[in-house]
Chains A and B, each alone.
Chain A
Amino acid sequence: MKILKIFMILFLFISFPHLKSDEKNDEFKSKVLKNIRCLICQGQSVYDSESDFAFSIKLIVNRKINEGLKEEQIYEYLREKYGDWVIYDPGLNKNTYFLWLLPLLLFLFGGAIIYKKTITNKINKT
């Protein structure tokens, strides 16, 4: 009985870290697949699609993860085959500087307007 208990505890200890790393792996894979556009679907990610294309991409992503590729390397591999638009996250590159900067600039601009509108009044009143 005692030996059985020890055996079970050991077994759990051994399997638990595997479970954890599997979960993390799954989460990572889901994250990557959700970021890849299914090119023959209309507006679906590879994660959500059951099409042939999605099936093949899922296999390839699996393969690349097992080869140890990092997230950005997987995206780069796919971008090289299909172009930038296969990845949903537009990333920060020479094509997308304005994309990311414009809203932030507008935010600062708006802040400046409000600052002008309210601070001047504070100075006037005091």
Chain B
Amino acid sequence: MKNKLSSFVVIIFLSFCFVVFYKGLNNPNTYSPKIKDKKNIPIFEAKDFNSNSYLNSEKIFEEDIFYIINIWASWCVPCRTEHPLLMGLSKNQSVKLIGLNYRDNLNNAKKFINKFGNPYSQIIIDEDGTLSVEFGAFGVPETFIIDKNKKIIKKIVGPINKEIVEEIKLIIK
């Protein structure tokens, strides 16, 4: 009897492990945390790209509209691939793009904008990368969608592509 019980327990335990491992295989392993509760955008002050003066976050996000924050840098190669898509999005009336220039050289960044175009209604500078950490970003490129309640509703790690642009267009309708 004891033998039968212990073998039964062992079989149940092993089946459980098998199922867990099997499911674990199919889980994506990209370790990008989902946004579970919508978080408020952080309150911050940052230097403006063009005017060198300090802007308050409340002022940057003051309009009753969707915002997209895009973290970019002139030295970031994937940023160039997503840039045309950002230019396209900037034509959309229901959203404003805010650029966050990450750990960059001001001259190089200005050259980048002059060469590839400016999709942003405003650009702020994050010279040491700490502002991006406030947003919970890993690096560059990274994009956040902010809704009208000033909450972060979506986070895209890596360059955006056409499918993501379609998703965004649906969200901001």
A and B directly contacting (CB within 8 A): yes
Q: Which of B31, B102, B134, B140 meets A81, CB within 8 Å?
A: B134
A56 with B128: CB separation less than 8 A: yes
Interface membership of B8, Cβ < 8 A: no
B138 with A81: CB separation less than 8 A: no
Q: How close is B47's CB to chain A, nearest CB, in angstroms?
A: 16
B128 with A83: CB separation less than 8 A: no
Main secondary structure of the interface of B (DSSP, over half): loop
B136 with A82: CB separation less than 8 A: yes
Cβ–Cβ < 8 Å partners of B28 in chain A: none
Cβ–Cβ < 8 Å partners of A56 in chain B: 103, 128-130, 132-133
Interface membership of B84, Cβ < 8 A: no
Interface string of B107-141 (1 = CB under 8 A from A): 00000000000000000000011101111101110
B128 with A59: CB separation less than 8 A: yes
Interface membership of B24, Cβ < 8 A: no
Cβ–Cβ < 8 Å partners of A40 in chain B: 138-139
A53 with B130: CB separation less than 8 A: no
B136 with A53: CB separation less than 8 A: no
A52 with B136: CB separation less than 8 A: no
Interface membership of B88, Cβ < 8 A: no
Q: How close is B136's CB to chain A, nearest CB, in angstroms?
A: 4
Interface membership of A39, Cβ < 8 A: yes
Complex Cα distance A85/B103, Å?
Answer: 25
Chain B CB within 10 A, most for which of A56, A59, A63: A56
Cβ–Cβ < 8 Å partners of A55 in chain B: 103, 128-129
Complex Cα distance A39/B133, Å?
Answer: 11
Asked whether A60 and B33 contact (CB < 8 A) given A40-B139, A52-B139, the answer is no
A-B contact pairs, 5 of them (CB 8 A): A39-B31, A40-B138, A55-B103, A56-B133, A59-B128
Q: Which residues of A contact B (CB under 8 A)?
A: 39-40, 52-53, 55-57, 59-60, 63, 81-83, 85
| CB-CB nearest 7 A-B residue pairs | A56-B129, A83-B33, A81-B136, A39-B138, A56-B133, A56-B130, A60-B130
